[in-house]
Structure 1
Amino acid sequence: MSAPRLSVVVPVRNEAGNIAPLVAEIERACADLPFELIYVDDGSTDGTPAALAAAQAGRPWLRVLRHASGAGQSAAVRSGVLAARGAVIATLDGDGQNDPAFIPVLLEALEAAGAGAGLAQGQRRGRKDGRFKTLQSRIANGVRGKILRDATRDTGCGLKVFRRAVYLRLPYFDALHRFMPALVAREGFCVVHRDVVDRPRLTGRSNYGLFDRLWVGLLDLAGVWWLIRRKRAAPRAVEVAAAPADAETERDVGC
């Protein structure tokens, strides 16, 4: 099969009620693109596997990967990116809060910025997470922005479009998806931003923790700061061609 223009990766855990409506929305949003959709079931224990199997009927572009046990959102995203056939990846959360209608908007922004752009990052407006959760996120984003200076208001937004080759150059660790703007810039690529609309979760409750475990978040932040500080420009390597096999070689002819 020819490679699609875009691979959409959706990490999920225990999101049975959200599978069918979100798949249908992604299908409508990407109808004009050659695309594939990769759901990564991160060890769900509810009806998510059955819901995904039902969604696959009549949709050859829908692929499903499954982790035997929960490994976390970053691990699920990475599994999807590694399996993707497209050179450009879009990600969004599996709970329905990210509107798939913004996928083409971010894709257009990335491509319009040229080959020097590595990431188009969505930034949520009108957060629907609740007052306390939103406050936690704002504090975390504020601290991160002051330290990393990544010029991104909302790195926790799951709506992202990026080049697969750029992602594979990034150091992998848990919570990588929350530091992508800073790490993409570290690799010498620019980041473009687009505002997106946040929506209430379709059904169920959150299954992935926010960036609200302060001690873990600070350790991650310190690690990324260290990586950025230690970055050095990679030297340009030029391959030296071997001499032709029949070239004359210098010989010792004696006295």
Structure 2
Amino acid sequence: MTYKFTIIVPVYNEEDNLERVETELSNYLKIAKVTSSVLFVNDGSSDNSQALIEAICERNEAFNYISFKQNRGLSAAIKAGFDYVDSELVGYIDSDLQTTPEDFNILLDHIDTHELVTGVRSNRKDSFVKNMSSKIANGIRRTFTHDGMDDTGCPLKVIKTDYAKRIPMFKGLHRFLPAMILLQKGRIIQVPVQHFPRMAGTANFGLWNRLFGPLMDCFAYLWMKKKYINYEVEKSSK
């Protein structure tokens, strides 16, 4: 079967969540607005995640996986997914399922007129510290990028694949995906989505990852923006 949309699921030590991920995504594929598949990217998990992923993919035709030799971080996992897929559209969702796959349909409603559609988590079910650090980090990022996005850390996005493949990823750049689409003269929009408490497993991001790390990444983004190469081919012999 040819799929129009591939959902990337980055995984790092999420063995307690994966059966629920299988159930939720299997249910979503039945109601998806376009033909959709799932790609697990195992980011060097040290628990039983890989064995569970292989079992899930064995019993679900629309599920596939790639697995890293070593842990390389969320940006690397997302980048590998972008590189691997060949569908027209690509998106991702975190394996903790604090967002719901059903909301991909809300994002897909806008993808015809935009190159990236990102969720913005309404009524977030996180701790006060996590919410405040995220709000501060997003404010800092907007100051640097002028992307107008309120919640680039929301783990629910849909992107046109040809734009996603042109993003030169580095560590932390998953927070700058809307800004990187803007550098390609693409159109972006944010849409409210649901948010839920984490049901199992442990969050892999602390205060440094949410606040101080993104501040340092802003300077890397500014350097990349200055050096970024963007071109359009007007004519070709092929």
1:47 Cα deviation after fit: 1.5
Of 116, 124, 127 in structure 1, the residue corresponding to residue 124 of structure 2 is 127
Please tell me whether the aligned partners of residues 41 and 77 of structure 2 are also in contact (alpha carbons under 8 angstroms): yes
Q: Secondary structure at the match of 1:193?
A: strand
Of 210, 218, 223 in structure 1, the residue corresponding to residue 220 of structure 2 is 223
Of 172, 177, 186 in structure 2, the residue corresponding to residue 175 of structure 1 is 172
Structure 2 gap ranges (5+)? none
Please tell me whether the aligned partners of residues 119 and 190 of structure 1 are also in contact (alpha carbons under 8 angstroms): yes
Runs (4+) off by over 6 Å: none
1:70 Cα deviation after fit: 0.4
1:108 equivalent in structure 2 = 109
Q: Secondary structure at the match of 2:30?
A: coil
1:247 equivalent in structure 2 = none
1:192 Cα deviation after fit: 1.5
1:226 Cα deviation after fit: 3.1
Q: Does 2:141 correspond to 1:144?
A: yes
Alpha-carbon separation, structure 2, partners of 1:232 and 1:53:
39
Of 186, 210, 213 in structure 2, the residue corresponding to residue 212 of structure 1 is 210
Q: Secondary structure at the match of 2:109?
A: helix
In the TM superposition, what whole-angstrom CA distance separates every residue of 1:29-55 from its partner, at most 9, and x where no partner exists? 221432110001111111112221232
Alpha-carbon separation, structure 1, partners of 2:237 and 2:196:
56
Structure-1-length-normalised TM-score: 0.85
1:55 equivalent in structure 2 = 56
Alpha-carbon separation, structure 2, partners of 1:92 and 1:162:
12
Moved more, 137-146 or 219-228: 219-228
User: Higher Cα Rg: structure 1 or 2?
Assistant: 1
1:238 Cα deviation after fit: 3.7
Alpha-carbon separation, structure 1, partners of 2:38 and 2:101:
12
Report the CA distance shift for 1:219/1:64 in structure 2 as closer, same or farther (over 3 A).
same
2:28 equivalent in structure 1 = 29
Alpha-carbon separation, structure 1, partners of 2:13 and 2:85:
22
Structure 1 gap ranges (5+)? 242-255
Q: Does 2:94 correspond to 1:93?
A: yes
In the TM superposition, what whole-angstrom CA distance separates every residue of 1:225-249 from its partner, at most 9, and x where no partner exists? 23334557636554479xxxxxxxx
1:153 Cα deviation after fit: 0.3
1:46 equivalent in structure 2 = 47
2:17 equivalent in structure 1 = 18
Moved more, 174-183 or 203-212: 203-212
Alpha-carbon separation, structure 2, partners of 1:59 and 1:127:
32
Alpha-carbon separation, structure 2, partners of 1:229 and 1:200:
39
Q: Which has the higher helix share?
A: 2
Which residue identity is paired with 1:87?
A: E
1:166 Cα deviation after fit: 0.1
Alpha-carbon separation, structure 1, partners of 2:138 and 2:71:
26
Please tell me whether the aligned partners of residues 123 and 195 of structure 2 are also in contact (alpha carbons under 8 angstroms): yes
In the TM superposition, what whole-angstrom CA distance separates every residue of 1:12-41 from its partner, at most 9, and x where no partner exists? 101011111112111212214321100011
RMSD: 2.0
Give matches, 1:63-82, under 5 Å.
63-82=64-83
1:207 Cα deviation after fit: 2.3
Aligned residue pairs total 235
In the TM superposition, what whole-angstrom CA distance separates every residue of 1:79-101 from its partner, at most 9, and x where no partner exists? 12222131100101111112111
Please tell me whether the aligned partners of residues 16 and 201 of structure 2 are also in contact (alpha carbons under 8 angstroms): yes
Structure-2-length-normalised TM-score: 0.91
